[in-house]
Structure formats: structure tokens, C-alpha cells
Amino acid sequence: MNLLTPLLLLLTAGYLLFLYTMYRGFKRVSRQLPMPSHTGEPPFISVIVPARNEAKTIQACLASIFAGTYPPHRFEVLVVNDLSTDDTCAQVEAFSRTLKPEDRQRLRLLHMPENLLRTRAHKKRAIQKGIQSARGSWIVTTDADCILPPDWLHTLSQYFQEGTHMVSGPTAFLHRTYTERMMALEFLGLVSIGAGAIGAGKPILCNGANLAYRKDTFHRVGGFRNIDHLTSGDDELLMQKIAHHFPGSVAFCAHPEALVWTQPPRSLREFLEQRKRWASKGAHYPDKKLVMLNTGLYLFFLTLGITSVLSLAIPGLLPYVAGAWGAKMFGEYLFLKTGAEHFGLSHLLRTFLPAQLFHVPYIMYAGLAGFLFPYEWKDREIVR
């Protein structure tokens, strides 16, 4: 037995324990159905939509928000244009003209000329500008390429309980092709892990496409201060700040009625750039225990990848590598099945086996590249 074998066995056991913990956390949040949080007027919500070069999708996004069931006089929408070079602004203005006069007043378009001199954290500054202009007591963020379900705001607002400072909601990739379904399954895994971690009392992941927090909480934790040197992390790094200042105050809205649909990456290159961006913030988590957890998970995938290659030349490794792969696939399938069934996405499980061929290599690449190299985002090259 060489040194890699016990390391692989130890990391595999740790990964299975992680999946089991996330499974229990997911089951916990999926059973947490809050009582109605308001008997009188519902809270006034400011929906912030940062947008850069989203001319193709922004009208559909806004239409889905304004078509929702939340009382019209209790929400506003602030689109923050982040130096778009296409006709995003013209599309917002065109949509505004289709609204009734009273609804038109609830849609505002803000601009970010100050981002001309910035090299990173553009989205954080756009969100912050929206918050500065927001009239709502609760901030809800989404992306300009999202489609929001009719009961989205109403369902999220049911989680605006006393003592709750942030609510993370579920997000899914739109999927038409087989490749998009594989990406959607992988993304579902990340969303389910985010839910499970909140249920386990250790918020790690969330997505800014479906996120709500109190405006005064944002200011009380210092907003994006101390994380504004990073381009990514307007969602999970903020969540971790709030969880640190207000333990037990982060909730997950597990209702399928709150599931937000977003566009998948358009190519393999765009997918890898997205994952590099997401991986780039992992080493900057304020809780060093979470950094160690991320490191341990990455080491599992790295060791599994390396030993898989070495087993071709070292036959003695093969049974252990096969066992590790079997344990990984068994644990992941059961965990993904739980999330897929809950959100009505069981059909995505048909791509599970083919997706396994890409899972380990992409994580090995994205984890290292996100830590070492720049990445592209919204037609900008972001330098670490």
C-alpha cells in the first residue's frame, strides 16, 4: 500500500461525511415552512437588478417581475446599468413605456459611470448603488438574465421573520440541450449544497440571482467593506458576513414556487470562466474553517483524479480508486436525487453518469485556475 492509498481512503470518507451532512441540512430546510410573516401590509421590497450587456434578456426579466402576484404598491425595481456597451438601457426604457403610469414610477434605471475607473468588484458597487437609492426595508437581488416565477416575491417574503436577516432562494439553469441539462444538474448540486449548509447552521453558498436581506442589516455589517477587493462574492461573502454578525439569522427558502430560472453558460469556455470566478473567492472566506473545508474537498477531487491516472500504471491502486469512485457516485446520486425530486427536476438525473466523466477534471482545473489566474466576466478581464 503506497502513501496515496490511505490519503484517498481518508478523503473519500470525509467527502461522504460532507454529503451526509448536506443531505441532513437540506432535509431540515425543506421541512421548514414558515408561518405568514405579516398580517397587515407586506414589507416594501426593493428588487435590484445589476445589468451589463443584457439587451437580449432584460425585458423578459422585468416582465416576469412585474407580472408577479406581490402587491404592486409594495415593491420597486431598480435596474443598475454597469457600463453596458449594447442597448440594454434602451430595452429597459422600451419596457418602461409598456407599463401603466403608476407602474412606471416603480421602475428606475441607474447608471454606474464610476465603474470606468475600477478594475474589480463592479457588480458589488452596482448593487451598493441600488441599495443607496432603495426605498424598501428588504433588498432582493436577481440577475438580468433571469425569469422570475409569479409567486417569487410573495414566497420569499414569507421567510422575512423576526430574527431573520437574510434569505437565500433556489436557482436553476434553463435547459434545452443535453449539455445544458448536464450543467443544470451540476448547478442543482451547488444550490442543494448551499441549502444543506444553511440547514446545518454553516452558511457557505448562495446565489445573487435569488437573494434577500434587510437593508439595515447590509449597513450594520458594513456592506461590502473588506470584501470589495474581490470581484466575485456579492452573494456568499456577504452571506458569511451576516451569518458571522448574526448567528442563526440566515434562512433558505425551499419552496419550488420561488425557483428562479437563469441562463446557462453558452459554451464550455464560458462555463469554465464562470467556475473559475466562483472558485476565486474560496480562499478569501472570513471563516478559516470554511477555507479548510474547501481545501479538503478540492484535495479529494485532486487525489481522485491523480490516482485514477496512476492506477493505469500501478495495478494495486485500481481497487481503491474504483471504490472511491463508487462511493463518490453513490453519495452524490442520493444527494442530487433529494434536491431534484424536491424542485421537480428529476429528469436531470438522466445525465448523471455522463456528467461524471467531466466532474473531477473540471473541478481540478477550476479550483487551481481560479486561485492562480485572471478570468473573464461580462467582457472584462478580471485580474486577481
pTM for the whole thing? Answer: 0.92
Q: Do 236 and 345 fall within a single domain?
A: no
Q: CB under 8 Å to 44, separation ≥6 — which residues?
A: 74, 75, 76, 135, 136, 137, 138
C-beta separation of 45 from 142 below 8 A: no
When pLDDT is averaged across residues 230-245 and rounded to a whole number, the result is 90
Domain that holds residue 264: 32-274
Q: Do 55 and 112 fall within a single domain?
A: yes
What pLDDT, on a 0 to 100 scale, did the predictor assign at position 36?
Answer: 60
Q: Do 9 and 52 fall within a single domain?
A: no
Q: What's the rounded Cα separation, in Å, for the pair 341 and 345? A: 6
State pLDDT tens for residues 256-295: 999 999 999 988 888 988 888 888 777 678 788 888 999 9
Q: Do 17 and 54 fall within a single domain?
A: no
State pLDDT tens for residues 330-379: 999 999 999 999 999 999 999 999 999 999 999 999 888 877 766 565 66
Rounded alpha-carbon distances, angstroms, from residue 60 to 55, 92, 142: 10, 10, 13
Domain presence at residue 338: yes
Domain presence at residue 282: no
Q: Do 54 and 136 fall within a single domain?
A: yes
- Across 86-95, 206-215, 264-273, least confident range: 264-273
- Across 2-6, 144-148, 346-350, least confident range: 2-6
Q: What's the rounded Cα separation, in Å, for the pair 250 and 227? A: 19
Domain presence at residue 84: yes
Q: Do 126 and 61 fall within a single domain?
A: yes
What pLDDT, on a 0 to 100 scale, did the predictor assign at position 369?
Answer: 81
pLDDT of 65 > 90? The answer is yes
Bigger pLDDT: 35 vs 18: 18
Q: Do 291 and 237 fall within a single domain?
A: no
For residue 287, how many other CB atoms are within 10 A of its CB?
Answer: 14
What pLDDT, on a 0 to 100 scale, did the predictor assign at position 90?
Answer: 97
Residue 294 grid coordinates: 474547501
Domain presence at residue 356: yes
Please state, for a pLDDT cut of 70, what percent of the chain lies above it.
Answer: 93
Phi/psi at 266 (5° precision): -85, -10
Q: Do 104 and 203 fall within a single domain?
A: yes
Q: Do 360 and 221 fall within a single domain?
A: no
For residue 177, how many other CB atoms are within 10 A of its CB?
Answer: 9
What pLDDT, on a 0 to 100 scale, did the predictor assign at position 277?
Answer: 82
How many structural domains does the chain have? 2
Among 245, 274, 303, residue at a domain's last position = 274
Q: Do 293 and 227 fall within a single domain?
A: no
Q: CB under 8 Å to 246, separation ≥6 — which residues?
A: 165, 217
Could you tell me which of 61, 123, 54 has the C-alpha nearest to residue 89? 54
CATH code for the domain of 176: 3.90.550.10
State pLDDT tens for residues 165-209: 999 999 999 999 999 999 999 999 999 999 999 999 999 999 999
